[in-house]
Amino acid sequence: MRPSTVTGAVLATAVLLLVAVRDGHCAQLCMDSSFPRTINGSLSFCGYNGTSCCNATDDAAVQKQFAAMNISGTPCGDIVKNILCARCNPYAGELFTVTTTSRTVPLLCSTTGVSSRLSTKPAAATTDYCSQVWDTCKDVRIPGSPFQAPKGGAAAPKLTDLWQSAGEFCSALGGGGAAKSPCLDGGGAAFNATRPALPLNGMCLERIGNGSYLNMAAHPDGSNRVFLSNQAGKVFLATVPAQGSGKTLGIDVASPFLDITDEVHFDNEFGLMGLAFHPGFATNGRFFVSYNCDKTQSASCAGRCACNSDFGCDPAKLGADNGAQPCQYQSVIAEYTANATSGTPAKATSANPVEVRRIMTLGLPFTTHHGGQILFSPADGYMYFAMGDGGSVGDPWNFAQNKKTLLGKILRIDVNTMPSGNTTAGWGSYSIPKDNPSSTDSSFAPEVFAIGFKNPWRCSFDSGKPSYMYCADVGQAAYEEVDLITKGGNYGWRVFEGPLPYTPLSTPGGNTSAASINAISPVMGYHHNAVNNNVGSASIIGGYVYRSTVDPCLNGRYLYADLYAKSMWAGAESPEGSGVYNVTDLKFSCSKSSPIPCDVAAGSALPSLGYIFSFGEDNARDVYLLTSKGVYRVVDPAQCGYACPVKSSTPGASSSPSPGAAPSSAVRARAPAALAALMAGALLALLSLMSV
């Protein structure tokens, strides 16, 4: 908990001042000033998933404390459970430490409180949760009550034993108005959404590797290791050097973790396109790749054609149009397992190249627009598969708008529950999540989660808000877009290209009218004529919401780029929960202390990155650019001369977490090393922000 000494109080307050402004409203921090830990699945009692300030042991302790109160199943019991579980909230550091004295109850959202350090949602959306707590629990005796006065009193006090009225209660524990710290409402932490964002002057990069890769996946054991895969069909295990260490990526390209180049068809838009590790990989060794194969070259390359009689599509005609066999090329999702002589997959340095299970094989109608990324949601644990419209200019067969096809869709499947016999969907070996859109609308194919995509190229979940899934969708000729994905959402292609109406050149598959769909507009994007790439083309590369502590001015912003590496952007939702994003052109430079010197574009001060293929994120939430000229990492902006009023928490050359470390350690290891710098800069940062 918070230090009781004056020095400790000043220290905690300084840290609080820093994190309160770090990401535009507040930052994730626990009551002991550590960062929230990543959890697999969800806490069985408090229910938090993705990130939390509690682990399973903490969760069990909260459950035991609540059980002793003997109020389970009552309206007051539901409220008290929510309040007790607030210590597991990723923002517990601010929910509980809004004063210089310890609190046993988090700040409760209120419209009547008078505290000067209170913060709620915007005024129109403020909930009077504090009054609801009073009205529901005021006459209930609660053994071991968290509301009990610090000096003691009744063994099982009622609220009316301690306070005379709702106004007095909320003056002590609640508040509202224009103050700026978060508060607890009935659903979780609520924030003041009017706080200005930190100024953004530019992004600083360092080059730590020379290889060219399409995918990066953080090792599920929480260590400083990542997996990288190339388009040809190899997966590598690499060690990430500490920020500020001056070291390069530790990777042995001669000893891949997995080599399936014999199975992969590698060409232009074909290859090993996706890589995802099961959330339980550290103990079960399960991981998955998505790749393309050629059925004329591989006997195992056989699956159902995405063009079929279900919607009047003749694969033979497609073959003639392509000059190829019908559905000659396929998209595959396959499961593999890690090799570990010790029986601990987290320590494995290689994988068995023999496929464990074929999850899906999908025949492709054309030779482009296959998407191919796979990823697990930290919120629900299911696998998501981003699939393009299958190719040809303008999606002539209107696959993206046909709910029965798997093309032009974001798919969601359950790879933990394997069906017996033939799967209902008929495409592979998996089950369908019970709440997929098909559960309420039979016109959807069971696997479909969202529709209306041309070629989604890189999706990600926001580690700070695990329910937020962003997908960048490559445009046709005019607009590139970023979509915030919702279940059952229709994102418009080919009725729209981004926000613009689109007229296809050919329509053998029919048309869909704009009036017949409720198309969801992109939240970010850019017009082709706004891109200074000097090649007359554009292709969006989706990235991540930046959640590292290394560049506080990037925190909370979604980063994305154009393939041609001349333009990048950062978008922030403002106000929170509005779906409205402010987008800023993102300048970028290369650190003078880059472990591998960056190439410089001729006649330009910009680093020459070649082509940007993908972004990546490690367990410390650091963000990477995977380019044709190597692997680049976002570093302290001061290394490029960019000013940020909040100091980076870069730990210098401190040692990185070891393989097999706890999932949160890669992030939390930064806090002690940076604490002195945080204290020194916190007040200056606050003063700087006040002048913004």
Nearest residue to 181 via CA among 27, 2, 1:
27
Helix (H) or strand (E) holding 78: helix 75-85
Give me the average pLDDT of each 10-residue run along the chain (692 residues). 33 32 53 74 82 88 93 89 90 70 79 39 53 90 80 71 87 63 71 65 97 97 96 98 97 97 94 97 95 93 87 75 76 93 85 94 92 95 96 92 96 89 63 94 95 98 91 96 96 97 92 95 92 68 96 95 94 86 95 95 82 97 97 97 84 46 43 36 34 34
Q: What is the pLDDT of residue 577?
A: 75
Sort strands 350-363 and 203-209 into parallel, antiparallel or unpaired.
unpaired
Look at the block and give the residue holding tokens 């180049």: 261
Nearest residue to 262 via CA among 295, 232, 235:
232
Residue spans of the domains in the chain: they are 6-190, 203-640
Distances (CA, A) of 662 to 431, 605, 666: 31, 41, 8
Q: What is the spatial distance between Cα 655 and Cα 668, in angstroms, rounded to a whole number?
A: 12
SS3 content of the chain, % helix, strand, coil (to 5): 20, 25, 55
Whether omega for the bond prior to residue 575 falls within 30 degrees of 0, making it cis, is yes
Q: What is the spatial distance between Cα 84 and Cα 71, in angstroms, rounded to a whole number?
A: 13
Domain 203-640: which topology?
Answer: Neuraminidase (2.120.10)
Q: What is the pLDDT of residue 174?
A: 80
Nearest residue to 379 via CA among 279, 273, 520, 482:
279
Q: What is the spatial distance between Cα 53 and Cα 266, in angstroms, rounded to a whole number?
A: 44
Helix (H) or strand (E) holding 77: helix 75-85
The conformation of residue 419, written as its DSSP 8-state character, comes to: P
Q: What is the pLDDT of residue 170?
A: 86
Amino acid at the residue 75: P
Q: What is the pLDDT of residue 179?
A: 46
The 10 Å Cβ neighbour count of residue 363 is: 24
Amino acid at the residue 541: I
Q: Two tokens at 272?
A: 């090993």
* DSSP reduced 3-state for 191: coil
The 10 Å Cβ neighbour count of residue 521 is: 14
Q: 423 near 429, Cβ under 8 Å? A: yes
Sort strands 612-617 and 49-52 into parallel, antiparallel or unpaired.
unpaired
Alpha helices in 53-158, H assignment, sequence order:
56-67, 75-85, 92-96, 129-137
Q: Two tokens at 501?
A: 């109406």
The conformation of residue 131, written as its DSSP 8-state character, comes to: H
What are φ and ψ of residue 166, in 5° steps?
Answer: -60, -40
Q: What is the pLDDT of residue 659?
A: 54
Contacts for 686-691 with beta carbons within 8 Å, 24 or more apart? 686/17, 686/18, 686/21, 688/645, 689/21, 689/196, 689/198, 689/645
